Amino acid sequence: MNGRRAASLTSFVIIILAGASVSRTGPASTRAFAQGESRQDAAGSYTGPGSCAASSCHGSVRPVAGSRIFQTEYTTWVVQDKHARATEVLNNPVSLRMAKILGIGRPDTEQKCLACHALDVPVQQRAKSYTAEGVSCEACHGPASGWLGPHTTRGWTHAQSIAAGMYDTKDLVQRTGTCASCHIGGADKSVDHEMIAAGHPDLVFDLEAFSAALPRHWRNDDPWQNVRAWSVGQIVQLREGLERLSTRTKGTVWPEYSELDCFSCHHSLTRPEDSWRQELGYRDRRPGNPPWNHARFSVARLVLRVSDPAGADALESQLQYLVAETSKLQAARTRIAAAAVAVQSSLDALAARLASGPADRNRTIQYVRAIAEDAQRISAAGERSAEQAAMSLETLVGTLSQNKDVDAAAARAALDRLFQQLENPSGYDPRRFEPLVRRMTDLLR
């Protein structure tokens, strides 16, 4: 049930890459590199996906009985996962047209593109097969030279692998941060308004929705782990979004329009009597001022309300101030940067608590009710906030369905109706979306 929105957001990749296959057997093809500030001191060097591909390791064609892992992880990635073909998309007509508009070279040689469409290796360390490998194993799991051999030996622990340079994807905070480095972006990996105008999709992200869209190559034995991952993801992606905003206030272009709500400008014009924007008014901003895209805030604030009621008011007050400041036509960089930085440490602490906190039927129902009760605010905030709520409800209701706590057929129908309202973003109308969100509580037993 989960992941339909995440899958649709990458449809341009799917269309170009449908049926594509690339052979990636052979020697290791990448060497040491630093991936952003957080990776500058990473232990070890990169060995390439071929080093994981042996049938006795992660390259089996079928799960191995009695193994604690599937041992098909490489096979799943290379055959089914779009990350494996992320570099190929740089040669399709849309990407080539984008490059022409932006006045850059070939996308498959441009560092601005390769930073996220490949394993981010410096030019001097790239092998001939580099662009055939896409976003490979070590982009998510870290440089393997320090732990590749030892991690197969008896008695070697996960903690030892982490100490030797493996990224801890079991840590939900770190996992979200790794994904967000590209799917939200930052100082060195950025999709700005210029790139979007040239044809790159806007960056939308939800950890659990996007994870659900992947061909799963990991075990998930906790029936409520999806909810825990979702809640942590909401807080970390808000934190990463604020970090990106703070970084951009120091850039040469300000305001950076990709931080604002795209559809406040890019929408079909209607007669005044038919305009939901004019009917609802312009909360927290002057008419004509495009608001900050606070989709990541719209649902994250509800995670905060449910999980930390005592700290919710103070943090929400800070975030509301940030929303108001960023939504001014001549937004002050210094005030926005200071407000964004002030919130981040509180979000870090909350994410850590959520990662080890409760995730069960009752907490999941609390989240569903919180979103339904806030339907008016979420819907009125625009299509991006509505989209975030829909992806969230898909995870929450989907998990309840998997645990037999809601009727599966009724849940599918309700979610289908919700996503139908998002098929034409510029034609989105909160007056149709809001009642559908409110009625999600009808599914609860």
- HEC secondary structure over 21-70: CCCCCCCCCECCCCCCHHHCCCCCCCCCHHHHCCCCCCCCCCCCCCCCCC
204 touches 296 (CB < 8 A): no
Specify whether the backbone of 223 is left (phi greater than 0), alpha (psi in -120 to 50) or beta.
Answer: alpha
pLDDT at position 39, please?
43
Query: For the chain, what percent of residues have pLDDT higher than 70?
Result: 88
Pick the more confident residue, 343 or 125.
343
284 touches 312 (CB < 8 A): no
Separation between Cα atoms, residue 355 and residue 232, nearest integer Å: 6
Identify which of 264-278, 280-294, 393-407 has the greatest average pLDDT: 393-407
pTM of the model: 0.88
Separation between Cα atoms, residue 193 and residue 200, nearest integer Å: 9
Give the CA count within 13 Å in the CB-facing half-sphere of 335: 13
pLDDT at position 38, please?
37
Arithmetic mean of pLDDT, 4-15: 48
pLDDT at position 44, please?
67
Q: What's the chain's average pLDDT?
A: 86
Q: Is 193 helix (H, G, I), strand (E, B) or coil?
A: helix
- Owner of token pair 């622990």: 157
Query: How confident is the model over 374-420, as pLDDT tens digits?
Result: 999 999 999 999 999 999 999 999 999 999 999 999 999 999 999 99
Separation between Cα atoms, residue 372 and residue 434, nearest integer Å: 8
Can you list the positions of beta strands (E) in 201-288? none
pLDDT at position 445, please?
74
Tell me, what amino acid is at 275? Answer: S
Which long-range contacts (C-beta less than 8 Å, at least 24 apart) are formed by 107-114?
114/87, 114/90
Q: Does the pLDDT value for residue 116 go beyond 80?
A: yes
DSSP 274: G
16 pLDDT band (50/70/90 cuts)?
Answer: very low
310 pLDDT band (50/70/90 cuts)?
Answer: confident
183 touches 205 (CB < 8 A): yes
Tokens of 366: 């609390």
Residue 218: which H helix or E strand, with range?
none
430 touches 276 (CB < 8 A): yes
Specify whether the backbone of 220 is left (phi greater than 0), alpha (psi in -120 to 50) or beta.
Answer: beta
pLDDT at position 311, please?
85
pLDDT at position 22, please?
32
DSSP 170: T
**By 3-state DSSP, what share of the chain in percent is helix, strand and coil, each rounded to 5?**
60, 0, 40
For residue 260, what are the β-bridge partners?
A: 292
Q: What are phi and psi of 250, to 5 degrees?
A: -95, 0
73 touches 52 (CB < 8 A): yes
Arithmetic mean of pLDDT, 282-306: 87
133 touches 140 (CB < 8 A): no
Q: Is 171 helix (H, G, I), strand (E, B) or coil?
A: coil
Which residues are within 8 A (CB) of 7 and not within 5 positions of it... i.e. 6 or more apart? 14, 213
Could you give the C-alpha distances from 168 to 62, 339, 374, in angstroms and in order? 25, 30, 35
For residue 30, what are the β-bridge partners?
A: 126
Tokens of 49: 């996906």
Nearest to 399, CA basis, from 236, 173, 228: 228
Q: Does the pLDDT value for residue 37 go beyond 60?
A: no
136 pLDDT band (50/70/90 cuts)?
Answer: very high
DSSP 290: P
pLDDT at position 124, please?
65
59 pLDDT band (50/70/90 cuts)?
Answer: very high
Q: Is 292 helix (H, G, I), strand (E, B) or coil?
A: strand
- Owner of token pair 């272009």: 253
pLDDT at position 410, please?
97
Q: How many residues does the chain have?
A: 445
Separation between Cα atoms, residue 267 and residue 425, nearest integer Å: 8
pLDDT at position 374, please?
97
Q: Does the pLDDT value for residue 332 go beyond 80?
A: yes
Pick the more confident residue, 122 or 295.
295
pLDDT at position 282, please?
75
Q: What are phi and psi of 292, to 5 degrees?
A: -60, 140
Pick the more confident residue, 195 or 47.
195
Separation between Cα atoms, residue 164 and residue 243, nearest integer Å: 28
Arithmetic mean of pLDDT, 106-121: 90
Can you list the positions of beta strands (E) in 230-300? none
Arithmetic mean of pLDDT, 79-87: 94
Q: Does the pLDDT value for residue 422 go beyond 50?
A: yes
DSSP 215: -
- Per DSSP, the chain holds a count of helices (H) and strands (E) of 20, 0
Delimit the domains of the chain by residue range: 4-168, 193-443
